[in-house]
């Protein structure tokens, strides 16, 4: 189906982005492509549907050469592609029109187009959104519209270029279910991803490095090569890393890529390969509240009279006009789509009470469309409440003057911050905010230099360059520096690592952590990564359909295992493994574990001689 032979490609005629790439993918194979930013993944994907053609070598799709202009229509009908950023490919103002765009261009009959649109929207969990405006959707909802548009074309090959990067955990699982179902029906799937759990579900994994194929094989062959993956700046799957730590500790445990596979291996090892350590009447798991209290959890860790930097007081917001909002104010939710959206919801936010205190690192989680981006845009007056009020340093920022002052205190970095760049030079872009604050040229220059240094860039070396000449990672840093140059007290980040490879992600999060720890910045971060929220945040706010679902410390939040799953959120990898081991009956203490260190200690104890003796005594006691 895809036959790539000795492919070379360059954008500028000098530097090869792809070098001597030969890949052969048969019909019906599910392939994941991994690689760091700049490794050539997206460039290779664009060759599959002839958006690009080789400078040297050949790319054939279902027997058609992509260099043959007469074959372009057939090739693009054969290979449907979903880009990393949905805004790059949404073309219509309404959801159903956008999904219908591809089939219309293929000349499909109108009744058949309507059927395909219905089925595609059902596949991605957007039934009920047919007449919604695409520009009013969240980033994750837009991505699902883009996926539906590709599915409606019914291609033989589906190419996903980081299509899951904007999706919540349930959305990612849903996309994988759709891909596997389509693959079972014979569709060839090529998925570019940074999520190792997605790669583990594929038939085959191809790793690119600097434009050439570095690794190629089954997930079991490729993903266990942890040293090579680390050298290529890729993430090592949690289960592989945990397996190797246990091996180094002396346990005879195979390197596993699936959590259940590792849990079974540990269970067998702990039981001496005979039977589980589970006792006949295992104690019930420690009780966990059915839902976290819908009050401000900061009250548990802050003095009652502590002043908040940002305070939400009964804040509600709707994107509808005030007449419609008032008419529908009390309307109950009528319908929830299978991926966790409510198409008839009136309120993007509803009765939000929440506070951010000086020096905190607060995480915000929630399913796609839960109101996360809407919430943070209220923090410095970009959006204003329909009801209620937002206070910054105790002042209501609905007032225009107060909102202007708030924007100097609260800096917001949006999804894909490099899209905030606009000036002719890096210096001018970073200087834009300070200049608008009326600062002197000397002070502006000092702030530009300091903010670029904070993000690890040399202002003298790149100051006069166009920001669009820089790499993607550098562009993101320049955009970040532009916010820091305002000297904000609060840094608000909306999915700051979306689309970054593991190495760049770790580097960026380390920078944010340093700004919090060493520079004293208050940080609010929206993220779909439960591992990032667990490792960085002191407190987490969880939104569900525009309302506060829960608020508390990471341990409190991730103790709500079933409740989080029900609203489409996942758990940190370490917590998932602890629960898997608990369910195997190894020990009820695994239910109380949240970190990798705790789990390793617990496994070693369960697999030790003392663990066997304790289990035997427990069984004798029960008898």
Mean pLDDT computed over 257-277:
75
Q: Which helix (H) or strand (E) holds 158?
A: strand 157-161
Q: What is the dihedral of CA 175, 180, 181, 183, to 10 degrees?
A: 120
CB 163 within 8 Å of CB 194: no
**pLDDT exceeds 50 at position 282:** no
Q: Which helix (H) or strand (E) holds 431?
A: helix 426-436
Instruction: Report pLDDT for 298.
Output: 42
**pLDDT exceeds 60 at position 323:** no
**pLDDT exceeds 80 at position 287:** no
**pLDDT exceeds 50 at position 95:** yes
Q: What is the dihedral of CA 472, 474, 479, 482, to 10 degrees?
A: -170
pLDDT (tens digit per residue) in 100-135: 999 999 899 999 999 999 999 998 888 889 999 998
The CA distance from 211 to 16, in Å, is 7
Q: Which helix (H) or strand (E) holds 82?
A: strand 79-82
Instruction: Report pLDDT for 618.
Output: 44
Asked which of 302-306, 339-343, 601-605 is least confident by mean pLDDT, the reply is: 302-306
Instruction: Report pLDDT for 17.
Output: 92
Number of residues that make up the chain: 623
CB 219 within 8 Å of CB 200: yes
Helix (H), strand (E) counts: the chain: 25, 20
Higher-confidence residue: 14 or 222? 222
pLDDT (tens digit per residue) in 11-47: 988 889 999 999 999 999 999 999 987 889 989 999 9
% of the chain at pLDDT higher than 90: 50
Instruction: Report pLDDT for 321.
Output: 66
CA dihedral for 305, 306, 308, 314, sign (positive or negative): negative
3-state SS, residue 240? helix
Distance of CA 209 to the CA centre of its chain: 23
The CA distance from 219 to 614, in Å, is 38
- Alpha carbons within 13 A on the beta-carbon side of 196: 25
CB 210 within 8 Å of CB 231: no
CB 337 within 8 Å of CB 128: yes
Instruction: Report pLDDT for 272.
Output: 67
Mutual angle of helices 441-454 and 472-484, in 10-degree steps: 130
The CA distance from 457 to 140, in Å, is 31
| SS percent in the chain: helix, strand, coil, step 5 | 45, 20, 40
Q: DSSP states of 325-391 as a string? A: HHHTTTPPP----TTS--TT---SEEEEEEEEETT-EEEEEE-TTSSHHHHHHTTTTSS--SEEEEE
The CA distance from 225 to 233, in Å, is 13
First-to-last alpha carbon distance for the chain, in angstroms, is 62
Q: Residue 283: pLDDT band by 50, 70, 90 thresholds?
A: very low
pLDDT (tens digit per residue) in 367-417: 888 899 999 999 989 999 999 999 999 999 988 889 888 888 999 988 777
CB 89 within 8 Å of CB 148: no
**pLDDT exceeds 80 at position 291:** no
The DSSP code for 467 is G
The 3 state secondary structure assigned to 534-594 is: HHHCCEEEEEECCEEEEEECHHHHHCCHHHHHHCCCCCCHHHHHHHHHHHCCCCHHHHHCC
Question: Which among 353, 361, 351 is positioned nearest to 301, based on CA atoms?
Answer: 361
Instruction: Report pLDDT for 344.
Output: 66
Instruction: Report pLDDT for 278.
Output: 37
Higher-confidence residue: 619 or 34? 34
Asked which of 111-115, 291-295, 509-513 is least confident by mean pLDDT, the reply is: 291-295
Q: Residue 341: pLDDT band by 50, 70, 90 thresholds?
A: low
3-state SS, residue 21? strand
Q: Residue 9: pLDDT band by 50, 70, 90 thresholds?
A: very high
Neighbours of 609 (CB within 10 A): 7
**pLDDT exceeds 90 at position 163:** no
CB 543 within 8 Å of CB 372: yes
* Burial class (CB within 10 angstroms; exposed 0-12, middle 13-18, buried 19+) of 562: exposed
The CA distance from 85 to 498, in Å, is 10
| Angle in degrees, CA 549, 554, 558, rounded to 5 | 65
The CA distance from 461 to 241, in Å, is 39
CB 170 within 8 Å of CB 92: no
Asked which of 227-236, 293-302, 557-566 is least confident by mean pLDDT, the reply is: 293-302
**pLDDT exceeds 70 at position 281:** no
The CA distance from 594 to 592, in Å, is 7
Residues pairing with 310 in the sheet: 356, 392
Question: Which among 418, 417, 415 is positioned nearest to 368, based on CA atoms?
Answer: 415
The CA distance from 145 to 93, in Å, is 12
Average pLDDT taken over every residue of the chain:
85
CB 124 within 8 Å of CB 339: yes
30 dihedral zone (left: phi>0; alpha: psi -120 to 50; beta): beta
197 phi/psi in degrees, rounded to 5: -65, -30
% of the chain at pLDDT higher than 70: 88
Mean pLDDT computed over 5-13:
92
Residues pairing with 217 in the sheet: 205
CB 204 within 8 Å of CB 211: no
Neighbours of 206 (CB within 10 A): 24
Q: Residue 342: pLDDT band by 50, 70, 90 thresholds?
A: low
The CA distance from 286 to 86, in Å, is 43
Question: Which among 89, 137, 548 is positioned nearest to 373, based on CA atoms?
Answer: 137
pLDDT (tens digit per residue) in 535-592: 999 999 999 989 999 999 999 999 998 899 888 888 999 999 999 998 888 878 888 8
pLDDT (tens digit per residue) in 139-155: 788 888 999 999 999 99
Distance of CA 538 to the CA centre of its chain: 20
Question: Which among 440, 441, 460, 436 is positioned nearest to 449, based on CA atoms?
Answer: 460
pLDDT (tens digit per residue) in 419-469: 889 999 999 999 999 998 889 999 999 999 999 998 888 999 999 999 988
The DSSP code for 285 is P
**pLDDT exceeds 90 at position 173:** no
Task: Report yes or no on whether pTM surpasses 0.85.
Answer: no
């Amino acid at each position: 189906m895809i036959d790539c032979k000795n492919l070379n490609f360059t954008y500028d005629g000098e530097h090869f982005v792809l070098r001597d790439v030969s890949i052969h993918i048969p019909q019906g194979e599910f392939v994941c492509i991994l690689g760091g930013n700049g490794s050539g993944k997206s460039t290779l994907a664009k060759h599959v549907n002839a958006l690009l053609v080789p400078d040297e070598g050949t790319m054939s799709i279902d027997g058609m050469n992509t260099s043959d202009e007469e074959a372009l229509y057939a090739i693009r009908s054969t290979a449907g592609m979903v880009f990393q950023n949905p805004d790059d490919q949404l073309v219509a103002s309404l959801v159903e029109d956008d999904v219908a765009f591809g089939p219309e261009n293929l000349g499909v009959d109108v009744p058949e187009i309507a059927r395909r649109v219905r089925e595609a929207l059902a596949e991605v969990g957007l039934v009920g959104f047919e007449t919604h405006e695409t520009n009013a959707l969240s980033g994750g909802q837009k991505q699902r519209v883009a996926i539906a548009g590709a599915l409606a074309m019914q291609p033989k090959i589906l190419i996903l270029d980081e299509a899951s990067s904007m999706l919540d955990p349930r959305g990612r699982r849903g996309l994988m279910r759709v891909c596997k179902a389509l693959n079972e029906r014979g569709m060839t799937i090529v998925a570019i991803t940074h999520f190792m759990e997605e790669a583990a579900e594929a038939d085959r994994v191809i790793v690119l490095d600097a434009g050439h194929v570095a690794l190629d094989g089954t997930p079991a062959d490729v993903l266990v090569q942890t040293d090579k993956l680390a050298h290529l700046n890729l993430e090592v799957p949690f289960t592989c890393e945990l397996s190797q730590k246990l091996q180094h500790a002396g346990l005879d445990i195979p390197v596993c890529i699936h959590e259940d596979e590792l849990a079974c291996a540990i269970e067998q090892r702990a039981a001496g390969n005979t039977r589980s350590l589970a006792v006949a009447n295992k104690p019930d798991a420690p009780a966990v509240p059915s839902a976290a209290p819908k009050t401000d959890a900061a009250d548990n860790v802050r003095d009652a009279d502590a002043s908040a930097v940002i305070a939400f007081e009964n804040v509600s917001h709707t994107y509808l006009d005030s007449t419609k909002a008032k008419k529908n104010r009390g309307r109950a939710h009528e319908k929830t789509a299978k991926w966790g959206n409510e198409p008839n919801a009136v309120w993007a936010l509803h009765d939000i009470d929440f506070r951010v205190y000086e020096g905190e690192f607060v995480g915000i989680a929630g399913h796609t469309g839960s109101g996360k981006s809407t919430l943070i845009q209220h923090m410095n007056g970009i959006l204003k409440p329909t009801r209620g009020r937002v206070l910054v340093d105790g002042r209501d920022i609905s007032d225009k003057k107060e909102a202007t002052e708030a924007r100097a205190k609260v800096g917001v970095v949006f999804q894909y911050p490099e899209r905030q760049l606009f000036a002719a030079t890096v210096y001018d872009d970073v200087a834009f905010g300070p200049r608008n604050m009326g600062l002197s040229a000397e002070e502006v220059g000092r702030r530009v230099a300091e903010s670029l240094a904070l993000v690890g860039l040399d202002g003298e070396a790149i100051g006069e360059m166009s920001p669009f000449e820089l790499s993607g990672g550098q562009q993101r840093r320049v955009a970040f520096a532009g916010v820091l140059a305002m000297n904000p007290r609060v840094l608000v980040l909306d999915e700051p690592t979306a689309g970054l490879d593991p190495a760049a992600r770790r580097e960026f999060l380390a920078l944010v952590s340093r700004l919090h720890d060493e520079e004293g910045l208050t940080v609010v971060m929206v993220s779909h990564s439960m591992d990032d929220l667990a490792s960085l945040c002191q407190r987490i706010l969880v939104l569900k359909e525009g309302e506060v679902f829960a608020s508390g410390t990471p341990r409190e939040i991730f103790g709500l295992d079933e409740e989080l799953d029900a609203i489409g959120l996942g758990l940190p990898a370490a917590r998932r493994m602890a629960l898997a081991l608990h369910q195997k009956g190894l020990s009820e203490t695994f239910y109380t574990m949240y970190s990798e260190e705790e789990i390793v200690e617990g496994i070693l104890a369960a697999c030790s001689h003392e663990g066997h003796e304790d289990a035997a005594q427990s069984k004798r006691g029960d008898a």
